[in-house]
């Protein structure tokens, strides 16, 4: 099967592998340390671990877009910000 039409690049492959890895690691995390039940965080809405991953990924996408709009390139800083944001989401939301 030829997937040339999909226009794969090493960067996009790493991007999707990272997302797949994150989802798999969530499964492993829940198996090793169950605790993904819903909870109320600082924003006063109920979230499971999966919800927090979704909020982290969605927020990270917007952090990157905002960085591109206001600052321009050098997305490593946006990535760093996104990691901090994700840690905050998993800790407090």
Partner 1 sequence: MQRKLNQKAWFLVLPVFLLVAFSAVLPLMTVVNYSVQDTFGNNEFYWVGTEWFVEILNSERFHSALGRQLLFSGIILAIEIPLGILIALSMPKKGWGASICLVLMALPLLIPWNVVGTIWQIFAREDIGLLGHTLAAMGIDYNYTHSPTAAWITIIIMDVWHWTSLVVLLCYAGLCSIPDAFYQAAKIDGASRWAVFRYIQFPKMNRVLLIAVLLRFMDSFMIYTEPFVLTGGGPGNSTTFLSIDLVKMAIGQFDLGPAAAFSLVYFLIVLLLSWVFYTVMTARDGEAN
Q: Which residues of this protein are in contact with partner 1, per CB under 8 A?
A: 4-9, 11-12, 15-16, 38, 40, 44-46, 54, 58, 61-62, 65, 68-69, 72-73, 75
**What is the closest distance, in whole angstroms, from the C-beta atom of residue 85 to partner 1 in the complex?**
14
**What is the closest distance, in whole angstroms, from the C-beta atom of residue 55 to partner 1 in the complex?**
8
- Give dist(CA 88, CA 52) in Å, integer: 10
- Please state at what angle helix 49-70 crosses helix 10-32, rounded to 10 degrees: 150
Q: Strand pairing partners for 44?
A: none
**What is the closest distance, in whole angstroms, from the C-beta atom of residue 25 to partner 1 in the complex?**
19
């Amino acid at each position: 099967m030829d997937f040339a039409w999909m226009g794969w690049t090493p960067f996009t492959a790493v991007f999707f592998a990272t997302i797949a890895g994150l989802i798999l690691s969530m499964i492993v995390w829940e198996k090793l340390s169950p605790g993904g039940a819903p909870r109320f965080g600082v924003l006063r809405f109920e979230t499971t671990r999966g919800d927090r991953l979704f909020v982290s990924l969605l927020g990270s996408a917007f952090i990157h877009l905002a960085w591109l709009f206001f600052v321009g390139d050098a997305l490593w800083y946006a990535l760093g910000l996104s990691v901090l944001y994700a840690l905050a989401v998993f800790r407090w939301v």
